[in-house]
Amino acid sequence: MTTAVNTLSSLDEPVRRRSFVSLLFAGPATVAGAIVIAVVAVFALCAPWIAPHDPNFQNLPAAFKPPSWLQGGTATYLLGTDDLGRDIFSRIVWGARVAGIVGLSGVAIGGCIGVALGVIAGYFGGIVDDVIARIADVQFAFPAVLLAIAVVGVIGPSLLTVVVTIGITGWVQYVRVVRAETLSLRERDFVQAAVATGASLTRILLRHVLPNVSSSVTVLATFGLARAIILESALSFLALGVPPDVPSWGTMLADGRQFLDTDWWLGLFPGLAIFVTVLGVNLFGDGLRDALDPQSR
Amino acid sequence: MTAFLVRRAVGAVWVVVGVAVTVFLILHLTGDPAAVMMPPDATTEQVAAFRHNQGFDRPLWVQFGSFAWSALRGDFGDSLRHGEPALGLALERAPASLELAFSALALAIVVAIPIGVLAALRRNSLLDFVARVFALIGQSAPVYWMGIMLILVFGVQLGWFPVSGIGGLSHLVLPTITLGLFTMAQLMRLTRSSMLDVLKSDFLRTARAKGVRPLALLWHHALRNAWLPIVTVIGTELVALFSQAIITETIFSWPGVARLAVQAIVDRDYPIVEVVVILAALAFVGVNMLIDIFYSLLDPRIRYS
C-alpha cells in the first residue's frame, strides 16, 4: 500500500510532501478510529488469552447476571451473563474474531472481483465494458440483504456462506471507481509508453494500472469492511448468519432481544460492539480518504 | 430527449430481466426445489409427483421460459404456502411497505437537507459539528440495533409509542425513525459537501459580488446546483432502503412486502420471492428513470442526446 501511495504522490505533487502517516493521523477522529480498529484486532487475534471464560460455557445458575458495576453483578462477569449463563464479555471478545474473519474475507472476495472487472472494463472498453456495466447495473438494483438471505437460505447458514455472500454482494462499488480510473490511466503517457515498448498485457495491468488504482481501492475497502460487519450481524440477527455455536455480535443481539425489558445488557453490549467498531472503521476510512485524496476535503 | 428515454427504457428492461434471471437461477440452481419445499416425511413418490406437478423435472431453460412467459402476463404462479397468486399477495402487502418507505424517505429529506445546507453555510460552527457527528453515528449504527434501542427507550421504558404492528400514526413513528436514520445520515453528509462545493464556485462569488440578496443567492444559485448529486443519491438509496426495510419490518412486525419476502425465503416459497424481487427491481429502475427526467428539469444544461 505504501509503495502505491508514494507512486501517486510523487506523480501528482512532488513539492511540499508530508509523510503519509503524519497526513493520515492529522485529525483526532482518524486516531480514534485507528485505536478502535487496533483494539478489535487485538481482541480477534488474542481472544483465547483475553477472554476470561470459555465463550460457549453455559453456567445456568449464573444466568442473567447484570454487569459487574450494577447491584447483583460480580467481578467474575464484567459485562454480565446471558440467558444461558455465558459470559458476555468473553463472547464479545470472541465475536471480534468472527467480525474480523467475515469482514476481511468478504472485502477480499468483493474487492478482487470488483477490481478485476473494473480494470478489464476500463482497459478494454467496448463490448466487454458494456457487458460488465450491465451486470453491475443488475447487481446494483438487487437488494444486497435479500440476495444474501436467498443465498444463505438456500445453501444453509455457515461461516463460509456468509463470507461468500458478503463478497458477491459487495463488488459493484469497486467496479465503478476502478473502471473510471482505468479509463483515464489508459491514456496516460506512462501506460502508452509501456504499450509502445512492447510490455505484455499482464505487465501493463499489474505494474502500471493496478498500483495507481490501489489508493481508491484501499478507501473503498475500508468502507466495505464497515458494510461487511453490518451485513454479517444483520444476517446473524435474522438467524441466517453463522451457526449458533459461533459467538457473533449479531447472534448475541438477536438472542438478547427478547430479554430487553428486564435484562437489557444482553442486547446493549453486542450492539455497542458493532456500533463502535463500524464507527471506528468509518472514521478511519474518512481519514484515509482525506489523506490519499486532498481534493475531497 | 426521446432517444435518450428509449435508451434508458431499454437499459431498465435489461436490469429487470437480469434481476429476474438472477433470482430464478439462485432459487433453482442451488438445490432441488421439491426436496426443500416438501415436508421431511414425504415419500419419494409424493416428492416425484410434486416435482412433476410444479414442472421442476423439465430442463432449466424450459422452466425459465415458462416462468418468463407467465411473468410477462402478470402470472408469477401461486404461493406454495398460501395457495394464492403470489403477485396478489405481494401487492396486498405493498401499501404498508410504501407507507413506511415514503415516511422514512420524507423524514430523511425534511431533516437532512435543511440541516446539511445550514451546516455548509456555517462551516465549522457548532451546528456543523453536531450535524457531522450525527451523520457519522447514523451511518455507523446498525438498523436493527437502532430499532431495538428505540423500542427499549420509547416503547418499553417511556411507553410513548407502540412497538409492533400497523395502525394509526403512532405506529409509524418508531419504524420511520429506524428506517430513515441511515438515509438521513447519508443525505446530510452529501448535502453538506455538495453545498460546500457550490459555495466555493466562481458563479456564486460573482452573484454575491453583484449584490444578489442572500436568500435568492441560496435558493436560485446555490441550491439549484447542489440538487443534482442529492437527487442522484436519493435514487440509489432506494435499494439500501429496501434492504433496511427487511430488518425494520421484521423488528416492528410491520406487515409489508419485505417481511413477506423474508418469510417466503425461510418457507422456500419461491414464487413469492421471485415476485417481490422483481417488483423491487421495477420500482428501482422506475424511480431512477424519473430522476433522469427530473435532472433535465433541474438543470437545463443537461440535454440528453
Q: Does A278 touch chain B (CB under 8 A)?
A: yes
CATH number of the domain within which B174 lies: 1.10.3720.10
Domains and CATH numbers, chain A: 27-296 (1.10.3720.10)
Quote the percentage of chain B above a pLDDT of 70: 94
Chain B contacts of A278, Cβ < 8 Å?
140-142
pLDDT score, position A11? 53
Looking at per-residue confidence, does B32 or B235 come out higher?
A: B235
Q: Does A154 touch chain B (CB under 8 A)?
A: yes
For residue B80, tell me if it sits in a domain: no
Are B239 and B121 part of one and the same domain? yes
Picking from B41, B72, B103, the residue at the C-terminal end of a domain is B72
Domain count, chain B: 2
Instruction: Point out the residue among A138, A278, A279 whose CB comes nearest to the CB of B22.
Output: A138
Chain A contacts of B18, Cβ < 8 Å?
134-135, 137-138
The interface residues of chain A toward chain B in range 38-77, judged by CB-CB distance below 8 A, are none
* Range in A150-159, A261-270, B212-221, B261-270 with the lowest mean pLDDT: A150-159
Distance between CA atoms of A215 and A229, rounded to whole angstroms?
A: 22
pLDDT score, position A297? 43
CB contact under 8 A, B261 and A233: no
- Enter the C-alpha cell of residue B131: 450535524
Quote the percentage of chain B above a pLDDT of 90: 3
**Minimal-distance CA residue of chain A relative to B194:** A296
Cell 412486502 belongs to B257
**Cα dihedral across residues A290, A293, A294, A295: positive or negative:** negative
Q: Does A225 touch chain B (CB under 8 A)?
A: no
For B8-154, list the strands marked E by DSSP.
none
Distance between CA atoms of B52 and A244, rounded to whole angstroms?
A: 36
Are B161 and B62 part of one and the same domain? no
For residue B305, tell me if it sits in a domain: no
Distance between CA atoms of A288 and A132, rounded to whole angstroms?
A: 28
**Minimal-distance CA residue of chain B relative to A154:** B30
pLDDT surpasses 70 at B114: yes
Q: Does A199 touch chain B (CB under 8 A)?
A: no
* Range in A240-249, B142-151, B294-303 with the lowest mean pLDDT: B294-303
What integer is the mean pLDDT of B189-206? 84
Other CB atoms closer than 10 Å to residue A188's CB: what's the count? 14
CB contact under 8 A, B137 and A237: no
Distance between CA atoms of B277 and B291, rounded to whole angstroms?
A: 21
Q: Does A170 touch chain B (CB under 8 A)?
A: no
**Minimal-distance CA residue of chain A relative to B29:** A154
Are B177 and B240 part of one and the same domain? yes
Q: Which residues of chain A have pLDDT under 70?
A: 1-18, 153-154, 293-297
- Enter the C-alpha cell of residue B209: 459580488
Q: How far is A208 from chain B (nearest CA, A)?
A: 32
CB contact under 8 A, B151 and A144: no
Q: Are B226 and B194 in contact (CB under 8 A)?
A: yes
Are B103 and B34 part of one and the same domain? no
Chain B contacts of A264, Cβ < 8 Å?
152
Q: How far is B185 from chain A (nearest CA, A)?
A: 13
Chain A contacts of B236, Cβ < 8 Å?
140
For residue B83, tell me if it sits in a domain: no
Backbone angles phi, psi at B78, to 5 degrees: -90, 145
For residue B86, tell me if it sits in a domain: no
DSSP string, A181-205: HHHHHHTSHHHHHHHHTT--HHHII
- Enter the C-alpha cell of residue B261: 419476502
Q: Does A20 touch chain B (CB under 8 A)?
A: no
pLDDT surpasses 80 at B298: no
| Three-class SS state of A87 | strand
- pLDDT band per the 50, 70, 90 thresholds, residue B31: low
Q: Which amino acid is residue A289, in one-letter code?
A: R
Instruction: Point out the residue among B15, B142, B273 whose CB comes nearest to the CB of A141.
Output: B15
Picking from B72, B100, B127, the residue at the C-terminal end of a domain is B72
Are B65 and B199 part of one and the same domain? no
Are B265 and B117 part of one and the same domain? yes
For residue B65, tell me if it sits in a domain: yes
Distance between CA atoms of A155 and B227, rounded to whole angstroms?
A: 43
**Minimal-distance CA residue of chain B relative to A227:** B140
Are B126 and B165 part of one and the same domain? yes
Are B12 and B128 part of one and the same domain? no
Report pTM: 0.82
**B46-to-A17, B39, B42, B264, B278 alpha-carbon distances in Å:** 74, 10, 6, 22, 31
What integer is the mean pLDDT of B55-60? 77
Q: ipTM > 0.85?
A: no
CB pairs under 8 A between A and B: 123
Enumerate long-range contacts of B155-158, CB under 8 Å, 24 or more apart. Answer: B156/A260, B156/A261
CB contact under 8 A, A141 and B284: yes
Mean pLDDT, chain B, integer: 82
For residue B303, tell me if it sits in a domain: no
For residue B77, tell me if it sits in a domain: no
Are B98 and B180 part of one and the same domain? yes
pLDDT score, position A15? 52
- Enter the C-alpha cell of residue A189: 503517457
Q: Are B304 and B296 in contact (CB under 8 A)?
A: yes
Are B208 and B270 part of one and the same domain? yes
The 8-class DSSP code of residue A61 comes to G
Chain A contacts of B258, Cβ < 8 Å?
146
Residues 6+ apart with CB under 8 A from B249: B97, B100, B175, B255, B256, B258, B259, B262
Q: Which of B285, B279, B284 has its CA nearest to residue B93? A: B279
CB contact under 8 A, A137 and B266: no
Are B283 and B189 part of one and the same domain? yes
For residue B304, tell me if it sits in a domain: no
Are B132 and B235 part of one and the same domain? yes
Residues 6+ apart with CB under 8 A from B262: A149, A238, B246, B249, B250
Q: State which residues form the domain around B26.
A: 2-72
Chain A contacts of B273, Cβ < 8 Å?
150
